[in-house]
């Protein structure tokens, strides 16, 4: 039950924020909005206010903002298609932008609550790699694999690329000391050296930590795309709605802050994925508008609509395939 509630809340907030971005900017630039919907499938509730219908649908896995002239020709001066290219691009960018902003806010809240990790070691676990190498409490990590580091995220980024041993330099009583460690794999499958670091509660550091995390995760998304193009991923590396729900369930075991971090990660994933130039996604629509700017005239709305429809069918098929793999991987049945 906890998993279901957490999943519904996370999906609802992620979709709500994304669609609200489109909605708010559409209203701001004067586009007529017919419907603001959260969820997919049959409608379970609605509220009419002005020219817009606000609806709630049964499946909290999507949503949409239905604007005048978005997918069809319209003579209405307030239609999406009759607005300037820049206005349309801003509307399309707004959804992902709101997801990124929400992720930044979540990271900031988590950082303020638990503090921002520093590079000063608080505890060295007995019998761990760091303990065996001679690293001590109070040592300050200043270099990893020959790369100078100024914050904990830099350490994590470099450490993630290490395959076998790792060279670490620390500052101890004003003296630089060098160590070579053999990382271990913990119960969760993570590579560790057996240390915990001190944290620092600071608004400035929390803001910096939030942006660093956002950039780091977006970089991971680009790396994933490269791996997908080169065929270096397997079915287990991709999760659909079912897989995400299962991951949310696992995360709830570690507390509310862990769930918040996962929600931030999901927000960034949704925002990033929506900006990919895949037909039916915001990124593809932006690409068509950029082509329009180059050509000096828009593409045929009907032809563009057909392309987006084909892309939508492809995405639904892909979601079903991924969900099928999730069911097999998790042995749900």
- Nearest Cα neighbor of 301 from 137, 105, 152, 79 is 79
Residue 165 near residue 136 (C-beta atoms within 8 A) = no
Residue 209 near residue 111 (C-beta atoms within 8 A) = yes
Q: How far is CA 219 from the centre of its chain?
A: 11
Secondary structure class of 297 (helix, strand, coil): coil
Secondary structure class of 257 (helix, strand, coil): helix
Buried b (16+ CB within 10 A) or exposed e, 41-60: eeeeeeeeeeebbebebeeb
- Annotate 49-97 with DSSP letters as a single string: ETTEEEEEEEEEEEEEEEETTSSS----TTSGGGS-HHHHHHHHHHHHH
Contacts of 183 (CB under 8 A, 6+ apart): 129, 159, 162, 165, 166, 191, 192, 193
The one catalytic residue in 19, 70, 205, 304 is: 19
Q: What is the DSSP letter of 300?
A: P
19 labelled catalytic: yes
Contacts of 218 (CB under 8 A, 6+ apart): 268, 272
**Alpha-carbon gap, residue 218 to 97, rounded angstroms:** 13
Q: How many CA atoms lie within 13 A of 216 on its CB side?
A: 19
- Nearest Cα neighbor of 129 from 186, 192, 172 is 192
**Alpha-carbon gap, residue 137 to 143, rounded angstroms:** 17
Catalytic machinery residues: 19
């Amino acid at each position: 039950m906890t998993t279901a509630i957490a999943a519904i809340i996370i999906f609802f907030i992620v979709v709500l924020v994304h669609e609200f971005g489109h909605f708010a900017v559409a209203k701001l630039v004067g586009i007529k909005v017919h419907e603001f919907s959260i969820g997919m499938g049959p409608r379970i509730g609605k509220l009419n206010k002005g020219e817009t219908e606000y609806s709630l649908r049964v499946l909290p896995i999507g949503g949409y903002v239905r604007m005048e002239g978005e997918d069809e020709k319209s003579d209405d001066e307030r239609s999406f298609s009759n607005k300037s290219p820049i206005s349309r691009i801003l509307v399309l960018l707004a959804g992902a932008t709101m997801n990124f902003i929400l992720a930044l806010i979540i990271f900031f809240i988590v950082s303020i609550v638990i503090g921002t990790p520093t590079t000063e070691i608080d505890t060295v676990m007995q019998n761990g790699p760091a303990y065996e190498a001679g690293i001590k409490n109070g040592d300050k990590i200043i270099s990893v694999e020959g790369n100078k580091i100024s914050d904990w995220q830099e350490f994590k980024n470099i450490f993630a690329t290490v395959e076998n041993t790792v060279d670490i330099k620390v500052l101890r009583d004003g003296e630089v000391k060098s160590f070579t460690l053999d990382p271990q794999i913990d119960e969760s499958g993570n590579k560790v050296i057996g240390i915990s670091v001190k944290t620092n509660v600071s608004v400035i550091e929390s803001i910096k930590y939030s942006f660093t995390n956002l950039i780091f995760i977006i970089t991971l998304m680009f790396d994933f795309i490269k791996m997908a193009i080169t065929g270096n991923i397997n079915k287990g590396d991709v999760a659909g709605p079912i897989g995400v729900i299962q991951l949310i369930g696992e995360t709830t075991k570690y507390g509310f802050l862990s769930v918040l971090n996962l929600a931030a990660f999901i927000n960034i994933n949704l925002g990033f994925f929506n900006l990919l130039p895949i037909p039916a996604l915001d990124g593809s629509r932006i690409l068509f508008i950029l082509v329009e700017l180059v050509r000096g005239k828009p593409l045929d709305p009907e032809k563009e609509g057909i392309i987006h429809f084909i892309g939508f069918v492809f995405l639904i098929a892909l979601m079903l395939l991924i969900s099928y793999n999730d069911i097999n991987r998790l042995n749900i049945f």
